[in-house]
């Protein structure tokens, strides 16, 4: 039995006395690509900006990764969601179904438009929306849905698209936390009318500080997004003259990406599949290790026929076996030197600001219950077998103190 003075949260020495390995997503290959931007600029005599050869290459490579389609690199994942929804040209006052669990960056771009949010609950035992929850959320005014593949795990997108098609509802997939995930052999983002990706520095596919991508299989939506992302310019016109501002189609803002970010994206995209595979290996080894824990267990969130692209690792806590709250238990594990998000706050219905933007606000008890019985272990592709063993050892140290007799 571990004594109170032994656990780090009570002042004892942490079991993991060295930092976990940082991700270091940007290495030599990214630096080399950035250097190429400068080299090209110096060779041509033109300063680099945006919508140049590096953005063209990044978007083309991304579409190849997705097995076809059209892509526009933009300034952030939030911008990608905003532009995708704006491109649908919904009637004012439309209802838009959004995910019950999502980062605010995927919800706020919806809320600032002239629509009302509809927030369904999850099913028991998961964070992602189910087809049943989606269907129950549809109102007579529902015209679109923005649905997140959370934490790298696919939603049941085929079933959702079948329901949406029957109701005339457009679907935007938010793939910010799940680039490269597979549903029945196809990449997420290829099922909906459009898809939004975040490529900020912390994401699996990263382009630097902030960045995003709008992806679609529709050429019509693609050209509309291009115009909406760059001041209404008529890019689809073969004889468009940048200096002829009388040809601009409508008022719009500037959400462009830049050549430096896109060059970084080319490098990280080239190793994205390897990154996904390495993260999946870490997740698998962690789940195997947790078989030796009395309190913490795998969450098994991967749907049949899917292959996840891990972003964080959600684990179940047997709260009836511990003498403290789940949050206190997670904090104690974190104090031992493990990266933990012990109280996941991205429950959409819980944000105070959201009520003014929701049609018939109500709590989402299934999502809240699952949050209250889980915590997220934050890992990356550089974690070794020793790191996984230390995670287990830290959990076992804490549970030996808090386990009920």
Share of the chain above pLDDT 90, in %: 97
Distance CA 129, CA 155 (A): 7
List the strands of the sheet with 212-216, edge to edge.
Answer: 70-74, 212-216, 194-198, 170-174, 142-148, 94-98, 115-118
Instruction: Quickly count: other Cβ atoms within 10 Å of residue 319's Cβ.
Output: 14
**pLDDT digits over 227-265, tens only?**
999 999 999 998 989 889 999 999 999 999 999 999 999
Host H or E run for residue 148: strand 142-148
How large is the C-alpha radius of gyration of the chain? Answer: 23
The predicted structure's pLDDT at residue 2? 53
The predicted structure's pLDDT at residue 242? 86
Residues 140-157 as b or e (16 or more Cβ within 10 Å = b)? eebbbbbbbbbbbbbbbb
Closest-CA residue to 273 (of 176, 367, 204) = 204
Q: What is the pLDDT averaged over residues 265-279?
A: 98
Distance CA 204, CA 180 (A): 9
> Token match 């771009």: residue?
109
Domains in the chain (CATH in brackets) are: 28-270 (3.40.640.10), 272-402 (3.90.1150.10)
Beta strands in 188-344 (DSSP E): 194-198, 212-216, 296-298, 306-307, 313-317, 340-341
Closest-CA residue to 170 (of 207, 108, 238, 217) = 217
Q: What is the pLDDT averaged over residues 69-88?
A: 98
The predicted structure's pLDDT at residue 5? 61
Beta bridge partners of 306: 183
Q: What is the pLDDT averaged over residues 142-148?
A: 98
Structure tokens at 57: 């290459």
Distance CA 92, CA 87 (A): 13
122, 100 Cβ separation under 8 angstroms: yes
Q: What is the pLDDT averaged over residues 322-338?
A: 98
Phi, psi of 204 (to 5 degrees): -60, -40
> Token match 């969450």: residue?
299
**pLDDT digits over 100-110, tens only?**
999 999 999 99
Confidence of residue 405 (pLDDT cuts 50, 70, 90): confident
**pLDDT digits over 2-26, tens only?**
555 689 999 999 999 999 999 999 9
Beta bridge partners of 147: 173
Distance CA 39, CA 346 (A): 43
Distance CA 274, CA 216 (A): 24
Is pLDDT of 203 > 80?
A: yes
**pLDDT digits over 111-125, tens only?**
999 999 999 999 899
- What is the 8-class DSSP label of residue 296? E
- Measured CA to CA in angstroms, residue 59 lies from 33, 77, 142, 203, 373 at distances of 15, 15, 31, 17, 40
Confidence of residue 90 (pLDDT cuts 50, 70, 90): very high
CA atoms within 13 A on the CB side of 185: 0
As a whole number, the mean pLDDT across the chain is 97
Structure tokens at 383: 């974690």
């Amino acid at each position: 039995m571990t004594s109170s003075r032994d656990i780090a949260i009570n002042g004892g020495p942490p079991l993991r006395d060295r930092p976990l390995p940082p991700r270091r997503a940007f290495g030599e290959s990214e630096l080399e690509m950035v250097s190429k931007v400068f080299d090209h600029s110096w060779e041509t005599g033109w300063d680099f900006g945006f919508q140049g050869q590096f953005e063209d290459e990044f978007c083309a490579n991304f579409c190849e990764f997705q097995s076809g389609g059209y892509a526009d690199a933009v300034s952030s994942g939030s911008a990608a969601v905003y532009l995708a929804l704006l491109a649908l040209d919904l009637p004012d006052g439309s209802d838009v179904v959004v995910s019950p669990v999502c980062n605010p960056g995927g919800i706020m771009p919806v809320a600032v438009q002239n629509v009302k949010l509809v927030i369904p609950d999850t099913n028991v035992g998961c964070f992602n929306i189910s087809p049943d929850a989606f269907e129950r959320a549809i109102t007579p005014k529902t015209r679109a849905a923005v649905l997140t593949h959370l934490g790298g795990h696919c939603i049941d997108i085929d079933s959702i698209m079948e329901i949406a098609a029957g109701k005339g509802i457009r679907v935007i997939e938010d793939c910010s936390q799940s680039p490269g995930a597979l549903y029945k052999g196809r990449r997420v983002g290829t099922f909906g009318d459009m898809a939004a990706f975040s490529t900020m520095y912390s994401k699996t596919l990263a382009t630097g500080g902030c960045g995003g991508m709008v992806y679609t299989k529709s050429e019509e939506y693609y050209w509309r997004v291009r115009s909406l992302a760059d001041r209404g310019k008529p890019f689809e016109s073969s004889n468009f003259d940048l200096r002829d501002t009388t040809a601009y189609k409508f008022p719009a803002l500037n959400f462009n990406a830049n050549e430096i970010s896109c060059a970084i994206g080319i490098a990280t995209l080239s190793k994205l599949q390897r990154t996904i595979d390495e993260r999946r290996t870490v997740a698998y080894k962690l789940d195997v290790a947790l078989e030796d824990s009395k309190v913490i267990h795998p969450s098994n969130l991967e749907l049949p026929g899917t292959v996840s692209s891990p972003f964080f690792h959600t684990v179940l806590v047997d709260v009836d076996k511990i003498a403290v709250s789940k949050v206190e238990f997670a904090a104690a594990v974190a104090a031992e030197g493990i990266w933990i998000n012990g109280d996941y706050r991205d429950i959409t219905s819980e944000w105070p600001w959201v009520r003014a933007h929701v049609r018939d606000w109500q709590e989402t008890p299934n999502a809240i219950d699952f949050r209250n019985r889980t915590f997220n272990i934050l890992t990356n592709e550089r974690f070794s077998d020793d790191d996984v063993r230390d995670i287990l050892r830290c959990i076992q140290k804490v549970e030996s103190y808090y386990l009920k007799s």
